[in-house]
Structure 1
């Protein structure tokens, strides 16, 4: 994936309001930790919000933020396809921002979506193995299928479980956007 990037140090060192910060994580992830001034538009809602983003950005460069950068690159692809010129991806996302020692706002919330996916799939594998020993060996196939799906997700860079978990009630937030 190729997109212009901006380093946390450059973004943090810029004047307040110089960049339009677009966060494409889930509402739950956003409410737990976000960069001051960020506007939340979850990745699945991005296509429908592009006109509003154009208005709000008002000629400022756009920095796309997610947890590590993967979803930000997906958002970049969508935005480029719709004619938004050169949105930048925050290199390393919120993880790199925090590692650089820069402040995050928010309150304790649900674990990050990637960890939720790992926990859910690991729980299904363990359950399948336990049921395979205790109930019926056919459950080993279930555990194997979950493991194979996780391997396919890792190799392809897609994850069907992520969008499903993003819709869960614990990932929803009453006040989804903050900042300007």
Structure 2
């Protein structure tokens, strides 16, 4: 099996009610802690074993929007179906699709927004600030936008994000570590 078939939220809800499904959330721990589907088990993609223990139940993988599960479908299928004996699917639209279909999630607002969203918000804000200051105060402020853009490029090309490392020390992220 090289790809996984999408499963609708309604079908997943039916299987959950019957107790015949193992829902596996592949997002990182900080994303899962903030919000997840109540019966989902956290199994980050970064620490996914080569074979997933699912007790013979149908396995459904989820992430926030469905993009991460789609991009890793081959790996997820191999993990769930060592010999093709366990049916495996991806949740159509992920947690966002689940909520859009009218189903509830567990939300813990005491947990910080996941790290990558924090990076995106701060980087976007700094770029906008650099453009605004460069336009209305002095052109040298465009350098701020260029600096942040260069940092984003380095993060994307190397996997190292200096801003995420700095944000890890922020008080709102440390208290939940």
Per the alignment, residue 57 of structure 2 pairs with 60
Q: 1:115 aligns with which of 113, 117, 123?
A: 117
Per the alignment, residue 75 of structure 2 pairs with 78
Q: Deviations over 1:70-93 (max 9, x none)?
A: 122234322234572452110011
8 Å contact kept, 1:121–1:146: no
Q: Deviations over 1:158-179 (max 9, x none)?
A: 99478x84993639966xxxxx
Per the alignment, residue 125 of structure 1 pairs with 127
Could you say which structure has the larger radius of gyration?
2
TM-score (norm 1): 0.68
Higher relative contact order (CA 8 A, sep 6+): 1
Q: Distance between the aligned counterparts of 1:122 and 1:28, measured in 2?
A: 21
Per the alignment, residue 45 of structure 1 pairs with 47
2:141 paired with 1:141: no
Q: Distance between the aligned counterparts of 1:43 and 1:171, measured in 2?
A: 23
8 Å contact kept, 2:35–2:105: yes
Cα 1:124–1:16, aligned 2, differ >3 Å: closer, same or farther?
farther
Per the alignment, residue 24 of structure 2 pairs with 22
For structure 1, list consecutive stretches of 5 or more residues without a partner in the other structure: 175-180
Cα 1:63–1:139, aligned 2, differ >3 Å: closer, same or farther?
same
For structure 2, list consecutive stretches of 5 or more residues without a partner in the other structure: none
TM-score (norm 2): 0.69
Per the alignment, residue 88 of structure 2 pairs with 87
Q: Distance between the aligned counterparts of 1:62 and 1:171, measured in 2?
A: 33
Give the deviation of 1:13 after TM superposition.
1.7
